[in-house]
């Protein structure tokens, strides 16, 4: 094993070839390593419903002499996470608020520029075609990636039918929502470090069902690429303890714009129907409230009969 190798990276690299029980251990550790670091092999096995010896063999399969060495590697990951707060204080501790603003915005600009340079135009075009041709589009992004998934779902829903946003804390519920996915459908998985094993499992399931899988992630080394046929890469480094999602959001925005230009008639019709619904049901009660007898309609429902 290479010195300084990150244990979590090793788990992600080996995940696809693992046995079912080892995948169970890998999934838990990747999403809960800050808790797993305090657990003995016996306790971890008990929590996952596997034997202590299976946990020990898992540690050995990752390239460690035993579970104690594996646990020590997890400790280093936790220390790295905690040190990010110290690094942030060292970097920004003596800065003014305006200096922090400028530094963070410039860092985000740099990420967008890197994304422009690294983006594969062929992959982007393929993603547009896949989404347009799919019978159903499933979208999944969890934790800090959830706003990205919701943004994409909101606008895709204006462009086409049958767009499903998967949002659940349960892997079994995810599979239930994807039960009928097949080769005519498309799955879009959005995940940036820390990568979501639930999203990865959903992508694996979609791939097994021969659906077209699109990954929106940070690099060619991301585990999200294991089961995808089309990879949209956007840089997302840690500015502090907060993930920067500016570049991924820009890529998703570009995807939406490209899709709108591919089917302008459908978009126009959908927006006209929405506008009519908003007007008919007074969705925006505003600035644009209708007035009767110089009094807002809202007041009539609130007024007591005399």
Which residue shows structure tokens 């892997």? 171
Q: Which tokens belong to 11?
A: 């788990």
Residues 30-43 have a mean pLDDT of: 85
Predicted confidence band of residue 196 (pLDDT cuts 50, 70, 90): confident
- Percentages of the chain per state (helix, strand, coil), in multiples of 5: 60, 10, 30
Predicted confidence band of residue 31 (pLDDT cuts 50, 70, 90): confident
Please tell me the distance from the alpha carbon of residue 98 to that of residue 100, in angstroms, as a whole number: 5
Q: What is the pLDDT of residue 273?
A: 77
Please tell me the distance from the alpha carbon of residue 88 to that of residue 118, in angstroms, as a whole number: 27
Check: pTM over 0.85? Answer yes or no: no
pLDDT at 306 over 50: no
- Helical packing angle, 246-262 and 146-159, nearest 10°: 10
CB 209 within 8 A of CB 187: no
Q: What is the pLDDT of residue 124?
A: 95
Which residue shows structure tokens 């410039």? 106
Give residue limits of the domains in the chain: 7-92, 119-262, 266-302
Residues 202-215 have a mean pLDDT of: 94
pLDDT at 89 over 60: no
Please tell me the distance from the alpha carbon of residue 89 to that of residue 52, in angstroms, as a whole number: 41
CATH-assigned architecture of domain 119-262: 3-Layer(aba) Sandwich (3.40)
Q: What is the pLDDT of residue 80?
A: 66
Q: May I ask the CATH class of domain 7-92? A: mainly alpha
Please tell me the distance from the alpha carbon of residue 157 to that of residue 165, in angstroms, as a whole number: 10
pLDDT at 241 over 70: no
Across the beta sheet with 186-190, the strand order is: 163-166, 137-141, 186-190, 212-217, 230-233
């Amino acid at each position: 094993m290479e010195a300084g190798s990150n244990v979590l990276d090793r788990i992600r690299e080996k995940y696809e070839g693992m046995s079912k029980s080892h995948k169970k251990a890998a999934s838990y550790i990747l999403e809960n390593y800050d808790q797993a670091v305090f657990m003995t092999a016996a306790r971890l096995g008990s929590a996952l419903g596997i034997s202590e010896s299976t946990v020990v063999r898992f540690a050995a399969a990752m390239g460690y002499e035993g579970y104690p060495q594996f646990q020590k590697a997890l400790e280093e990951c936790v220390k790295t996470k905690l040190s990010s707060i110290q690094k942030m204080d060292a970097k920004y501790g003596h800065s003014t608020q305006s200096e922090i603003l400028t530094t963070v915005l410039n860092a985000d600009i740099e990420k967008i520029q890197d994304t422009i340079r690294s983006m594969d135009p062929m992959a982007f075009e393929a993603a547009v075609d896949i989404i347009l041709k799919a019978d159903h589009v499933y979208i999944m992004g969890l934790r800090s990636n959830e706003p990205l998934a919701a943004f994409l779902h909101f606008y895709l829903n204006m462009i086409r039918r049958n767009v499903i946003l998967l949002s659940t804390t349960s892997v079994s519920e995810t599979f239930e929502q994807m039960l009928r996915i097949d080769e005519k459908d498309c799955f879009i998985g959005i995940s940036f470090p820390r990568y979501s094993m639930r999203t990865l499992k959903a992508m694996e399931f979609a791939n097994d069902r021969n659906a077209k899988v699109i990954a929106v992630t940070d690099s060619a080394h991301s585990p999200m690429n294991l089961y995808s046929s089309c990879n949209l890469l956007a840089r997302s480094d840690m500015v502090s303890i907060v993930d920067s999602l500016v570049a991924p959001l820009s890529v998703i925005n570009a995807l939406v714009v490209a899709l709108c230009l591919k089917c302008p008639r459908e978009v126009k019709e959908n927006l006209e129907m929405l506008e009519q619904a908003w007007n008919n049901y007074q969705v925006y009660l505003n600035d644009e409230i209708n007035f009767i007898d110089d009094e807002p309609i809202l007041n009539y429902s609130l007024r007591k009969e005399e």
